[in-house]
Amino acid sequence: MKGVGERAILWRRLGLGLLGAGLVLGLLGAARLEVSGTLWRARPAWPLFSLGVGLLALAAVLVRRHPAGGGGDGDGTDQVAAILRELRAAVAALRQGHPLQLETEGRRPAALQALAEAEAPQEAAYLLWLKLQLDPLLDDLLPRLFDARSALLRQHGVVTGGVFVSGLARVERLLARAWSAAVDGHAPAARAALAEAAQELEGLALPEAGGRPPGT
Protein backbone atom coordinates (compact mmCIF):
# COMPACT_ATOMS: atom_id res chain seq x y z
CA MET A 1 0.00 0.00 0.00
CA LYS A 2 2.87 2.30 0.83
CA GLY A 3 4.29 1.80 -2.68
CA VAL A 4 0.93 2.73 -4.21
CA GLY A 5 0.78 5.89 -2.09
CA GLU A 6 4.32 6.88 -3.05
CA ARG A 7 3.56 6.35 -6.72
CA ALA A 8 0.48 8.53 -6.41
CA ILE A 9 2.59 11.30 -4.86
CA LEU A 10 5.10 11.01 -7.69
CA TRP A 11 2.36 11.20 -10.31
CA ARG A 12 0.91 14.23 -8.62
CA ARG A 13 4.29 15.94 -8.49
CA LEU A 14 4.78 15.19 -12.16
CA GLY A 15 1.33 16.66 -12.84
CA LEU A 16 2.16 19.83 -10.92
CA GLY A 17 5.45 20.17 -12.80
CA LEU A 18 3.66 19.80 -16.12
CA LEU A 19 1.09 22.33 -14.94
CA GLY A 20 3.79 24.93 -14.33
CA ALA A 21 5.56 24.20 -17.61
CA GLY A 22 2.29 24.22 -19.55
CA LEU A 23 1.25 27.53 -18.05
CA VAL A 24 4.55 29.22 -18.89
CA LEU A 25 4.61 27.85 -22.44
CA GLY A 26 0.93 28.62 -22.99
CA LEU A 27 1.36 32.20 -21.78
CA LEU A 28 4.50 32.69 -23.88
CA GLY A 29 2.70 31.37 -26.94
CA ALA A 30 -0.33 33.57 -26.36
CA ALA A 31 1.68 36.66 -25.51
CA ARG A 32 3.75 37.04 -28.64
CA LEU A 33 3.70 40.42 -30.37
CA GLU A 34 5.25 41.21 -33.72
CA VAL A 35 6.35 44.43 -35.36
CA SER A 36 3.93 45.40 -38.09
CA GLY A 37 5.02 48.62 -39.68
CA THR A 38 5.66 50.89 -36.73
CA LEU A 39 3.23 49.09 -34.43
CA TRP A 40 3.38 45.93 -32.36
CA ARG A 41 0.55 43.58 -33.30
CA ALA A 42 -0.68 40.42 -31.63
CA ARG A 43 0.54 37.32 -33.46
CA PRO A 44 0.23 34.40 -31.06
CA ALA A 45 2.76 31.61 -31.59
CA TRP A 46 0.18 28.90 -32.04
CA PRO A 47 2.49 25.82 -31.94
CA LEU A 48 3.96 26.98 -28.63
CA PHE A 49 0.53 27.86 -27.29
CA SER A 50 -0.85 24.46 -28.36
CA LEU A 51 2.05 22.69 -26.66
CA GLY A 52 1.34 24.63 -23.48
CA VAL A 53 -2.38 23.79 -23.62
CA GLY A 54 -1.59 20.13 -24.25
CA LEU A 55 0.72 19.98 -21.24
CA LEU A 56 -1.89 21.75 -19.09
CA ALA A 57 -4.58 19.28 -20.16
CA LEU A 58 -2.28 16.33 -19.37
CA ALA A 59 -1.43 17.93 -16.03
CA ALA A 60 -5.12 18.41 -15.24
CA VAL A 61 -5.77 14.70 -15.82
CA LEU A 62 -2.80 13.61 -13.69
CA VAL A 63 -3.50 16.00 -10.82
CA ARG A 64 -7.19 15.14 -10.68
CA ARG A 65 -6.51 11.40 -10.76
CA HIS A 66 -4.02 11.74 -7.92
CA PRO A 67 -5.41 14.33 -5.50
CA ALA A 68 -3.36 15.50 -2.53
CA GLY A 69 -3.73 13.00 0.32
CA GLY A 70 -5.77 10.81 -2.04
CA GLY A 71 -6.59 7.30 -0.92
CA GLY A 72 -6.08 8.33 2.66
CA ASP A 73 -7.61 6.61 5.63
CA GLY A 74 -10.28 7.88 7.95
CA ASP A 75 -7.98 10.21 9.92
CA GLY A 76 -9.79 13.32 8.75
CA THR A 77 -13.18 11.95 9.78
CA ASP A 78 -11.86 10.68 13.14
CA GLN A 79 -10.39 14.07 13.90
CA VAL A 80 -13.61 15.83 12.92
CA ALA A 81 -15.69 13.39 14.97
CA ALA A 82 -13.57 14.05 18.06
CA ILE A 83 -13.82 17.83 17.74
CA LEU A 84 -17.53 17.58 17.00
CA ARG A 85 -18.07 15.63 20.24
CA GLU A 86 -16.14 18.31 22.09
CA LEU A 87 -18.21 21.03 20.47
CA ARG A 88 -21.51 19.32 21.28
CA ALA A 89 -20.51 18.92 24.90
CA ALA A 90 -19.37 22.54 25.08
CA VAL A 91 -22.61 23.96 23.67
CA ALA A 92 -24.73 21.70 25.87
CA ALA A 93 -22.72 22.82 28.89
CA LEU A 94 -23.23 26.44 27.93
CA ARG A 95 -26.98 25.94 27.75
CA GLN A 96 -26.93 24.44 31.21
CA GLY A 97 -24.71 27.19 32.50
CA HIS A 98 -21.65 25.06 33.19
CA PRO A 99 -18.16 26.33 32.50
CA LEU A 100 -16.42 24.77 29.53
CA GLN A 101 -13.83 22.06 29.92
CA LEU A 102 -11.78 22.74 26.84
CA GLU A 103 -8.11 22.45 26.15
CA THR A 104 -8.05 26.22 26.26
CA GLU A 105 -9.16 26.31 29.86
CA GLY A 106 -5.86 27.84 30.87
CA ARG A 107 -6.88 31.03 29.13
CA ARG A 108 -9.85 31.59 31.39
CA PRO A 109 -9.35 34.67 33.52
CA ALA A 110 -9.37 34.24 37.28
CA ALA A 111 -12.30 36.64 37.55
CA LEU A 112 -14.36 34.40 35.30
CA GLN A 113 -13.42 31.34 37.32
CA ALA A 114 -14.65 33.10 40.43
CA LEU A 115 -17.81 34.13 38.64
CA ALA A 116 -18.54 30.60 37.48
CA GLU A 117 -17.97 29.19 40.93
CA ALA A 118 -20.18 31.79 42.60
CA GLU A 119 -23.27 29.98 41.24
CA ALA A 120 -25.32 33.12 41.46
CA PRO A 121 -24.65 35.11 38.35
CA GLN A 122 -27.00 37.94 37.64
CA GLU A 123 -27.96 38.80 34.09
CA ALA A 124 -24.89 40.91 33.35
CA ALA A 125 -22.57 38.44 34.98
CA TYR A 126 -24.18 35.60 33.04
CA LEU A 127 -23.71 37.44 29.76
CA LEU A 128 -20.10 38.27 30.53
CA TRP A 129 -19.54 34.67 31.49
CA LEU A 130 -21.22 33.46 28.31
CA LYS A 131 -19.17 35.79 26.13
CA LEU A 132 -15.92 34.65 27.71
CA GLN A 133 -16.96 31.01 27.32
CA LEU A 134 -17.78 31.53 23.66
CA ASP A 135 -14.42 33.14 22.88
CA PRO A 136 -12.42 29.89 22.86
CA LEU A 137 -15.19 28.09 20.99
CA LEU A 138 -15.17 30.63 18.19
CA ASP A 139 -11.43 31.29 18.17
CA ASP A 140 -10.04 27.78 18.71
CA LEU A 141 -12.46 24.92 18.43
CA LEU A 142 -14.45 25.83 15.34
CA PRO A 143 -11.40 26.90 13.30
CA ARG A 144 -9.84 23.50 14.08
CA LEU A 145 -12.99 21.87 12.79
CA PHE A 146 -12.98 23.92 9.62
CA ASP A 147 -9.27 23.24 9.07
CA ALA A 148 -10.23 19.61 8.60
CA ARG A 149 -12.94 20.38 6.05
CA SER A 150 -10.72 19.82 2.99
CA ALA A 151 -10.02 16.25 4.06
CA LEU A 152 -13.70 15.77 4.75
CA LEU A 153 -14.79 17.12 1.37
CA ARG A 154 -12.17 14.98 -0.34
CA GLN A 155 -13.25 11.89 1.53
CA HIS A 156 -17.01 12.26 1.18
CA GLY A 157 -17.37 14.32 -1.96
CA VAL A 158 -18.34 17.93 -2.39
CA VAL A 159 -22.09 17.32 -2.09
CA THR A 160 -22.24 14.97 0.89
CA GLY A 161 -19.33 16.56 2.72
CA GLY A 162 -20.68 19.98 1.77
CA VAL A 163 -23.97 19.38 3.60
CA PHE A 164 -22.02 18.61 6.77
CA VAL A 165 -19.62 21.57 6.49
CA SER A 166 -22.52 23.88 5.70
CA GLY A 167 -24.30 22.71 8.87
CA LEU A 168 -21.16 23.41 10.86
CA ALA A 169 -20.96 26.88 9.35
CA ARG A 170 -24.53 27.51 10.51
CA VAL A 171 -23.53 26.48 14.01
CA GLU A 172 -20.61 28.90 13.82
CA ARG A 173 -22.93 31.74 12.79
CA LEU A 174 -25.38 30.97 15.56
CA LEU A 175 -22.64 30.90 18.18
CA ALA A 176 -21.38 34.21 16.81
CA ARG A 177 -24.91 35.51 17.22
CA ALA A 178 -24.98 34.34 20.82
CA TRP A 179 -21.64 36.12 21.36
CA SER A 180 -22.98 39.35 19.82
CA ALA A 181 -26.18 39.20 21.87
CA ALA A 182 -24.13 38.58 25.03
CA VAL A 183 -21.94 41.62 24.31
CA ASP A 184 -25.09 43.67 23.63
CA GLY A 185 -26.52 42.58 26.97
CA HIS A 186 -29.50 40.70 25.52
CA ALA A 187 -29.82 37.39 27.32
CA PRO A 188 -32.96 36.05 25.56
CA ALA A 189 -31.39 36.47 22.12
CA ALA A 190 -28.18 34.83 23.33
CA ARG A 191 -30.08 31.88 24.76
CA ALA A 192 -32.23 31.53 21.65
CA ALA A 193 -29.14 31.44 19.44
CA LEU A 194 -27.49 28.89 21.74
CA ALA A 195 -30.59 26.70 21.59
CA GLU A 196 -30.65 26.90 17.80
CA ALA A 197 -26.96 26.03 17.64
CA ALA A 198 -27.50 23.04 19.92
CA GLN A 199 -30.43 21.86 17.78
CA GLU A 200 -28.38 22.19 14.61
CA LEU A 201 -25.52 20.28 16.24
CA GLU A 202 -27.85 17.49 17.31
CA GLY A 203 -29.02 17.00 13.73
CA LEU A 204 -25.48 17.10 12.41
CA ALA A 205 -24.03 13.66 11.74
CA LEU A 206 -20.80 12.85 10.00
CA PRO A 207 -21.49 11.47 6.53
CA GLU A 208 -20.73 7.83 5.92
CA ALA A 209 -17.73 7.30 3.67
CA GLY A 210 -18.82 7.53 0.05
CA GLY A 211 -22.42 7.51 1.20
CA ARG A 212 -25.34 9.85 1.10
CA PRO A 213 -25.75 12.79 3.41
CA PRO A 214 -27.44 11.85 6.68
CA GLY A 215 -31.14 12.28 6.65
CA THR A 216 -31.63 11.82 2.94
Partner 1 sequence: MRSYDTVRTRLVAARPYREVTPAGMTLGILTGIVLTVSFTYTGLVIGFVVPASAVAAILGWGLLRGVLRRGTIIENNINQTVAAAISCSCGGVIFTVPVLMLLGQPVPYGVLSGATIVGAALGVLFILPLRRQMIELDRLRFPTGTAVAQILRSPGAGLRKSALLGAGVIASAALSSLIGLPRLWPALPQLLPETVDLGRLLGLPGYMSHVWALSALSLGAGFLSGRAGLVVLLGGVLANWLLSPVLVHLRWAPPDGTVLFREINRPLGIGMLLGGALVGVAMAVPLLRGALAGLGRRGGGTSDELGLRSFVGAGLVGLLALWGLAQVGSAGLPPGQAALVALVGVVYIALSGIIIAQCTGLTDWSPMSGMALIAVSLIMLLSGHHVAVSVACGAACCVAMGQAADMMTDLKTGHLVGTRPRLQQLAQLSVAWMGPPVALGTLHLVARAYGLGTDRVPAPQAQALQAAMLGLLGGQAPVDRYLAGALLGGLLTAALGGGLGVMVGLSMYIPFQYILPYGLGCLLAMWAERRLGGRWCQDTGLPLAAGLIVGDSLAGVTLALLQVGRGLGAVVP
Q: Interface with partner 1 by CB under 8 A: which residues?
A: 15, 19, 22-24, 26-34, 40, 42, 44-45, 49, 52-53, 56-57, 59-60, 63-64, 96-98, 119, 121, 123, 126, 131, 139, 143, 146, 149, 153, 158-159, 162-163, 165-166, 169-170, 172-184, 186-189, 191, 193
Q: How far is the CB of 80 from partner 1 (least distance, A)?
A: 15
**CB atoms near residue 178 (< 10 Å):** 28
Which lies closer to partner 1 via its Cβ, residue 1 or residue 214?
214
Beta-bridge partner residues of 35: 40
Closest CA to 103 of 121, 117, 82: 82
Beta-bridge partner residues of 40: 35
CB 29 within 8 A of CB 52: yes
Q: How far is the CB of 145 from partner 1 (least distance, A)?
A: 11
CA distance linking residue 178 with residue 120, whole number of Å? 21
**CB atoms near residue 181 (< 10 Å):** 21
Q: How far is the CB of 103 from partner 1 (least distance, A)?
A: 12
CA distance linking residue 28 with residue 89, whole number of Å? 57
Which lies closer to partner 1 via its Cβ, residue 1 or residue 190?
190
Which lies closer to partner 1 via its Cβ, residue 1 or residue 127?
127
The helix (run of H) or strand (run of E) holding residue 130 is helix 123-136
Q: How far is the CB of 195 from partner 1 (least distance, A)?
A: 10
Which lies closer to partner 1 via its Cβ, residue 11 or residue 146?
146
Please compute, for residue 15, the number of CA atoms within 13 A of its CA located in the half-sphere on the CB side. Answer: 18
Q: How far is the CB of 2 from partner 1 (least distance, A)?
A: 25
Instruction: Read off φ and ψ for residue 35, nearest 5 degrees.
Output: -75, 130
Q: How far is the CB of 191 from partner 1 (least distance, A)?
A: 6
Cα of first residue to Cα of last residue in the chain, in angstroms, is: 34
Which lies closer to partner 1 via its Cβ, residue 15 or residue 207?
15
Which lies closer to partner 1 via its Cβ, residue 86 or residue 200?
200
